[in-house]
Amino acid sequence: MFQPTMYILCLASLWALALVAAGQDVSIRAVEKAFSDANLPANLDIVFKPTALLEVSLPQATGPPITLHAGIHVPRNDTAGPPTFHAVGPDLGRGPFVATVDPDAPTPQAPTSAQIRHFLGGNFFNHNGLLVNTTPAISEFRQPAPPAGSDPHRYTFLLFRQSAEFVTQTLVNSTTPVQLFNISQFAAAVDLGNPIAGTFMLVAPDPTT
């Protein structure tokens, strides 16, 4: 028997799937909710009231890049990066600053080496939203590598306004251990304030490891 209601529901959910598959975050409120649902503000000790969107795209060996939306699952082997960043929003200013951290290392249940610093870079210039880094990153991007048997980790990207102190900071450089990083402590120390945008991906161990 033909069931028109079912048909419409089915089309609607396919359309929703297509929107999700197409990529990036489109709603600041949805990002804020996804962070809150994932307990990230509490686990990172940050106040997360975003006023902009941060689009993070991971280039792929073949095919188009994967653009994150908050909470997307990405296969580990598709996360080699390095990512590119776009910011969308009012008043982004000049030279913002991006940090990527993993609060779930080695496992979300016992994150004894968290946070792991996966990227730390500043001096980005805003070219119509594309953030172009004009200097080497402080910590270049490290590919996620959650250990075999772990639940997925929350790899979290945060965008801050760059402070004057950031340019002269000596707390972190390319040889500083990436373990036991603390983004809220770092942000406070170099006067970054609260993040203005962010997103995150969930990455599980590669099934062949």
Ligand X SMILES: *[C@@H]1O[C@H](CO)[C@@H](O)[C@H](O)[C@H]1NC(C)=O
Which residues would be at the binding site for ligand X (CB under 6 A)? Answer: 45, 77, 173-176, 182, 184-185, 188, 206-208
CB 123 within 8 A of CB 103: no
Q: Considering beta carbons, is residue 85 or 155 the nearer one to ligand X?
A: 155
> In the complex, what is the shortest distance from the CB of residue 111 to ligand X, in angstroms, rounded to a whole number?
8
Other beta carbons within 10 Å of 110? 11
Shortest CA distance to 96 belongs to which of 166, 14, 148, 152? 166
- Can you tell me the distance from the alpha carbon of 181 to that of 62, in angstroms, rounded to the nearest whole number? 33
Q: Considering beta carbons, is residue 134 or 208 the nearer one to ligand X?
A: 208
Q: Considering beta carbons, is residue 85 or 141 the nearer one to ligand X?
A: 141
Q: Considering beta carbons, is residue 179 or 185 the nearer one to ligand X?
A: 185
> In the complex, what is the shortest distance from the CB of residue 67 to ligand X, in angstroms, rounded to a whole number?
21
> In the complex, what is the shortest distance from the CB of residue 158 to ligand X, in angstroms, rounded to a whole number?
14
Q: Considering beta carbons, is residue 65 or 129 the nearer one to ligand X?
A: 65
CA-based end-to-end distance of the chain:
48
Q: Considering beta carbons, is residue 44 or 87 the nearer one to ligand X?
A: 44
Q: Which helix (H) or strand (E) holds 6?
A: helix 4-22
Residue 175 Cα distances to 104, 117, 189, angstroms = 22, 12, 19
> In the complex, what is the shortest distance from the CB of residue 27 to ligand X, in angstroms, rounded to a whole number?
29
> In the complex, what is the shortest distance from the CB of residue 95 to ligand X, in angstroms, rounded to a whole number?
21
Segment 164-173 long-range contacts (CB within 8 Å, at least 24 positions apart): 164/191, 165/189, 165/190, 165/191, 166/97, 166/122, 166/190, 166/191, 166/192, 167/122, 167/123, 172/117, 172/120, 172/138, 172/139, 173/138
> In the complex, what is the shortest distance from the CB of residue 80 to ligand X, in angstroms, rounded to a whole number?
9
Q: How does strand 153-160 pair with strand 97-102?
A: antiparallel
